[in-house]
Structure 1
Amino acid sequence: MSIFYDFELKNWFTLNKQSKTLGFNKHPVQMVSSAPARSLFFPISPKEEVPLIGILTGRKKDNKVTGNGRLFKELQKEIMKNGGLSIVFTPQNINDNSISGYMYLPTKDKWYTVQCPIPHVIYNRVPFRRIEKSDSFYEAYQFFKSKNIPFFNTCFLDKHELYQVLSKDSYFQKLIPETIKICEKSPFQTFFQKHRQLYIKPSLGSKGKGIYLASLNKDSTIQLQGQEELLLYEDFHTFWLKWNSVFLKKSYIAQKAINPLLYNGKRFDFRILVHYVNNQFNVTGIGIRQSKEQNITTHVPNGGIILPYKQLQSEKHDQFITELANRAGKLLSKQIGFFGEFSIDAGITADGKYVIYEINSKPMRFDEQEIEKKRFQTLASLFLELAGL
């Protein structure tokens, strides 16, 4: 069985003798005896109601559509296996009763411009924070909200706002290093003197970019270590004069540095992928990232290396990660908005205590192929669950 798109009529049809609908508004898929020449066939086995998943992305400054093309392709393949379709679109592509966008056809490995009814579910994969702050994104969000269409993954997470949410919960209070937003010289200096060693991070950063390890030495000098540089300042005042404009302009946080447990002499972190499944948040996959040349970040783009979780796995770790995932998902969805997918960066201190560093609402690709494969399968199933199909 297939359904097909007629480029001339900009509508959907089927050769099946049973009536079908497509999208949230149950747009009729018309039955015809033959397809016109300019048609796009999608080889799926549609049920009575064909699931349609909208993948919301954005445009670059040159107006070209951007986003994680590989993710979009793999999701289309999985969704088609489940008798549905997905369409990639931007906030500017929304009309009252339809959206225009781009649909991937795996048999030809090509993207095509199509027009579709309103989707059952919206998966937010807008790649830049500036787009999420735009009027067009806000209007798109309100449009789908007004129709009670599930909006999957509300927004990017701000590190300081995340800390504020987590610090008010008794379970997470003991897991997160003390953190402040860098706003004024005096409170920051007091915080620095209290902890002596801090991680300084951009609140809106990702992939380990812009992170520094700042150390206050006994002689009052300050050492600032980046991923590729080491700077020294004679005192806090000199350090503040040099950096305050950067910290204040881009919004930075200061976080107490922990003394991490080492494996083969290097720090390591857990990378935990979580999805909402059957009314709870389950762990889809766990990877280990270990620093190699520097101990500031374990991210692979910054020189980190990949280790299999089974190399450090224990029953205690399993129990902690399972509980952490479910609690984090419930808290985030209650306090910020629904997050059907997120990842957590967690670690262990030298004295054996668990700690969490980050929660990411739009996880990067996992290098472990088995985790990525399970991710696509889980997402496709979750979309159908949210669509009520």
Structure 2
Amino acid sequence: MLTIGYRPDTGEWVCNSPGGPYRFGSGWVAPAAVLPDLVFPVREQDGRVGPLVGVLISASSLSALLAGKKPWLETVIRSIHKAGGISVVSAAAGIGEKTVSGYLFVPTLHRFIEAAAPLPDVVYNRVKSREEEESEPFQTAAAQLSAHGVPLVNRSFFRKSDVYDALRSDRRLWPHLLPTAPVQTATDLRAWLRQYSCIYLKRDDGARGMGLFRLTALSETEAICEYPGGQKRFCSLDALASLIQSGRYIAQALAETDEWNGRRYDLRVLAHWHNGRHTITGIGVRSADVESVTTHVFHGGTILPYKEVKERIDEAALERLIALSGARLGERFGFVGEFSADIGVGSEQQLYIYEINAKPMVFDEPEIEARRLERLNQLFAELAHRTP
């Protein structure tokens, strides 16, 4: 480790080590006889210090972060510093042609200060909405980073239909995919129910079980629609037409899955790019209440220790599934450094991909989150062309 300093009045980064100057992101740490008050211990390797990691967040999240109301994000940032890196947080508008303007976390002060830094070695995208990712400031920032060869982890949210199309391109993944397609009319629903009798309806851009329904045919015209918090009987599927026309919905066939103590469960698999492929970082398990539509804890699901079902899981097959899925996602969406997958387990140990998420939520299991921080810092180091 060596120590570098930051001068807020000039925006200059300096170092008094005789081995300098050192490469720092897209810029340099200048030599100085005396370090300023703000100093940071950093790793040095082959004439480079850091890595310098940009954390890209929504402009509306900045005030909450500065007020200490983004604890998970602050934990990630602290871990970057602990690993010998430096993190600068900004909204998309803060990314310029050669520098980034935002906020620097100072571990010795336990707070953020306004700061400027060279363009980072890598940027971790935690913008919270699709709408903001589609905005002009974000698109301009992403283009700016791309032009300078700065990796962006991850470029965008996924839509369920796009994920399905990406995975469908690989025949090896077909046994793990449930029939899935967009639905736009009541006629579409009738056709699905005639073939499968019970299906899930999901918003193409939904998350955490929001916009999720289970539809079960009672007759050619009648159906039960179950959703988190209740159910409703429809005498005609035409009554659902306004719902599926209100947004982009997909239908997905129901899988016959394994149960634990009479309850359905599925796996929440966290994965990261590591040494040239996607590997499993952690496995969580979520169990549904007897009558529940979803296993999401947000809608009444229960956290189940992985050890309870571990013997039912073909872990080697799961590792292969994650590696293959990550490769196909990368082909479709560009570099994917991190994702989570909701995986169903069949009665004969079959593995079914329900959906894949580009920006995993915080896992309730502390051991998974600890491993996640470790893997993220390994990823940032790898992308910055350093040995983790």
Q: Does 1:169 align with 2:178?
A: no
How far off its partner does 1:363 sit? 0.4
Q: Is the 8 A contact 1:22 1:52 kept in 2?
A: no
Aligned-pair RMSD on alpha carbons? 2.2
Q: Is the 8 A contact 1:26 1:49 kept in 2?
A: no
Q: Is the 8 A contact 1:22 1:117 kept in 2?
A: no
How far off its partner does 1:46 sit? 4.2
Stretches of structure 1 lacking an aligned partner (at least 5 in a row):
none
Q: Does 1:131 align with 2:129?
A: no
Question: For 1:123-177, what per-residue CA distance to the aligned partner results, in whole angstroms no more than 9, with x for missing partners?
Answer: 1111111111111111111111111211221211001111122223212222121
Question: For 1:166-195, what per-residue CA distance to the aligned partner results, in whole angstroms no more than 9, with x for missing partners?
Answer: 223212222121111122332332122211
Cα distance in 2 between the residues matched to 1:78 and 1:206: 27
Cα distance in 1 between the residues matched to 2:231 and 2:6: 58
Of residues 19-28 and 217-226 in structure 1, the stretch that sits farther from structure 2 once superposed is 19-28
Question: For 1:106-127, what per-residue CA distance to the aligned partner results, in whole angstroms no more than 9, with x for missing partners?
Answer: 3332111110000011111111
Cα distance in 2 between the residues matched to 1:133 and 1:108: 35
> Aligned to 2:359, which of 354, 358, 362?
362
> Aligned to 2:265, which of 253, 259, 268?
268
Question: Aligned ranges for residues 302-381 of structure 1 at < 5 Å?
Answer: 302-314=299-311, 317-350=314-347, 352-381=349-378
Amino acid at match of 2:40: F
Cα distance in 2 between the residues matched to 1:199 and 1:349: 17
1:373 aligned counterpart, secondary structure: helix
Q: Does 1:49 align with 2:48?
A: yes
Q: TM-score, normalised by structure 1?
A: 0.92
Structure-2 change in CA distance of 1:246 and 1:113 (3 Å) = farther
Cα distance in 2 between the residues matched to 1:10 and 1:270: 46
How far off its partner does 1:211 sit? 0.7
Question: For 1:255-310, what per-residue CA distance to the aligned partner results, in whole angstroms no more than 9, with x for missing partners?
Answer: 11223221101110011111111111111111111113643111112111112212
Q: Does 1:40 align with 2:52?
A: no
Structure-2 change in CA distance of 1:316 and 1:134 (3 Å) = same
Q: Is the 8 A contact 2:5 2:35 kept in 1?
A: no
How far off its partner does 1:315 sit? 7.9
Q: Is the 8 A contact 1:267 1:290 kept in 2?
A: yes
Cα distance in 2 between the residues matched to 1:319 and 1:158: 27
Question: Aligned ranges for residues 160-239 of structure 1 at < 5 Å?
Answer: 160-218=161-219, 220-237=221-238, 239=239
Q: Does 1:110 align with 2:107?
A: no
Structure-2 change in CA distance of 1:113 and 1:318 (3 Å) = same
Q: Does 1:288 align with 2:285?
A: yes
Cα distance in 2 between the residues matched to 1:25 and 1:220: 63
Cα distance in 1 between the residues matched to 2:363 and 2:226: 27
How far off its partner does 1:93 sit? 0.4
Q: TM-score, normalised by structure 2?
A: 0.92
Amino acid at match of 2:41: P
Amino acid at match of 2:308: Q
The aligned residue for residue 153 of structure 2 is: 152
